[in-house]
Amino acid sequence: MSATRSKGAIIGIGELKPQRRTEGVTTLEMLAKVSAAAVADACIEPYEIDGLLVGPQVGETPQHVPATIAEYLGLKPTMGNVVDLGGASGAGMVWRAAAAIQAGMCETVLCVLGNARDDNPPRSPNRNPIREFDVPFGASGANISYAFFMQAHMARFGTTAEDFATIAHWARHNAQSNPDAIFHGKPASVADVLASPIVASPLHLFEIVMPVAGAEAVIVTSAKRARERGQLMVHLLGAGEKITHRAASQASDLTTGPLRQAMASAFAQSGTSARDMSLLSLYDCYTIMVALTIEDAGLCGPGEFGHWLRGRDLSFAGDTPLNTHGGQIGFGQPDLAGGMTHIVEAVRQLRGSATGRQIPNPQLALVTGNGATVSEATALVLGVD
């Protein structure tokens, strides 16, 4: 097989001897052991692993599995994903790894599956940092964890509550142009946001997404096929991804996040910058998330988002359209589909079909996604011909 015909190459393998029972051993420990064996077999160093494909869950966590495993293994991949195909998961991982490498998302991918079999599996907190350093001290749940980042930003930079409230105000403002938004007909001024109850200091109620029922979908094909069929298309011009931790206590810096690297990769692939964007469609589970994204995108310096916002118009008719559908804070968060609302809105705007809130002549859109607590980051640059 010539190198030019090859779609990918397997360079290392690892395997643990099967056992009927694994008393006193966690799934994370087994995944770490077999991963180390594969790395050694490949004659590479762990830091060379920049892609991670895992199964749908491990005993220690039912979600955020790539971040949990990456954190445990000490990896910070630029591509992470869950493959859930039952007995076909292993084979499915191999071609996905090759596809991700061809797409320029990563260079070396660890594909790992495994499970412990123990009627009473150990739950030692030091095998999962979130149980040792977060939950025992009350940092359980998203509100507390994001408040942690917000407090750090205010302490380091002197950011004010009004700065964050401005983000929530614009989310509600933009929701008034979207009849489907959960807060359509319910605008909120900066004063209204600050008057809403404190949920987790310094987070106010209006700065937090409202969980709703809903669903989103997108269909992807090749540009060639779309042209052949005469379909209106929006192009993926660049993408980036980064995973740095799972538990908030394990974040290396509480005033920046992995979106900095993810957006930089998306901009580099597309030959663009944040200032070229017609639309900023930024993941906004909390106001602090938008603040960090604005700064990490390079639109302003660290700690300067509040000053950057002053005097700007973030509506579809303004100078800096941001989350024109209302974002999740104004539109609502239909669980994991919340992140996809930002993609759907960007496609609508670039197609020119955002009725009642259409940006004039949009060309480029930045879409971001965030998982866990400023932990798992994905960025896309979308554009039109």
Over residues 290-338, the pLDDT tens digits come to 999 999 999 999 999 999 999 999 999 999 999 999 999 999 999 878 9
Q: Provide the pLDDT confidence category of residue 178 given band limits of 50, 70 and 90.
A: very high
Q: What is the pLDDT of residue 331?
A: 96
Taking each helix axis as running N to C, give the angle between helix 287-296 and helix 259-270, from 0 to 180 degrees, rounded to the nearest 10: 50
Q: Positive or negative CA dihedral for 283, 92, 64, 377? A: negative
CA 24 to CA 36: how far, in whole Å?
20
Map out the domains of the chain as residue ranges.
27-127, 142-383
Instruction: Give, as one character, the DSSP assignment of residue 132.
Output: I
Q: Which residue has the higher pLDDT, 278 or 86?
A: 278
Task: Specify the CATH superfamily of domain 27-127.
Answer: Thiolase/Chalcone synthase (3.40.47.10)
pLDDT at 349 over 80: yes
- Looking at residue 57, its amino acid is Q
Q: What is the pLDDT of residue 125?
A: 43
Q: Which residue has the higher pLDDT, 287 or 14?
A: 287
Count of positions (residues) in the chain: 385
Mean pLDDT of 230-236: 90
At 188-226, the pLDDT tens digits run 999 999 999 999 999 999 999 999 998 898 888 888 888
* Coil, strand or helix at 309: helix
Alpha helices in the chain (DSSP H): 27-42, 65-73, 89-102, 129, 142-157, 161-175, 190-195, 223-228, 259-270, 287-296, 305-309, 327-331, 338-351
pLDDT at 20 over 80: no
Q: What is the pLDDT of residue 261?
A: 96
Q: Is the CB of residue 172 less than 8 Å from the CB of residue 183?
A: yes
222: phi > 0 → left, psi -120 to 50 → alpha, else beta; which?
beta
CA 73 to CA 71: how far, in whole Å?
6
* Coil, strand or helix at 21: coil
CA 161 to CA 152: how far, in whole Å?
13
* Coil, strand or helix at 375: coil
Task: Tell me if domain 27-127 and domain 142-383 are identical in fold.
Answer: yes
Q: Which residue has the higher pLDDT, 132 or 313?
A: 313
Largest CA distance in the chain: 67
The class level of CATH for 142-383 reads alpha beta
pLDDT at 340 over 70: yes
The answer, yes or no, to whether the previous bond of 202 is cis (omega within 30 of 0) is yes
Q: Positive or negative CA dihedral for 65, 66, 67, 72? A: positive
pLDDT at 122 over 60: no
Nearest to 58 by CA among 123, 146, 137: 123
* pTM as predicted: 0.85
Residues ≥6 apart with Cβ < 8 Å to 71: 129, 245, 246, 247, 250
At 87-98, the pLDDT tens digits run 788 878 988 998
**Cβ neighbours around 95 below 10 Å, total:** 11
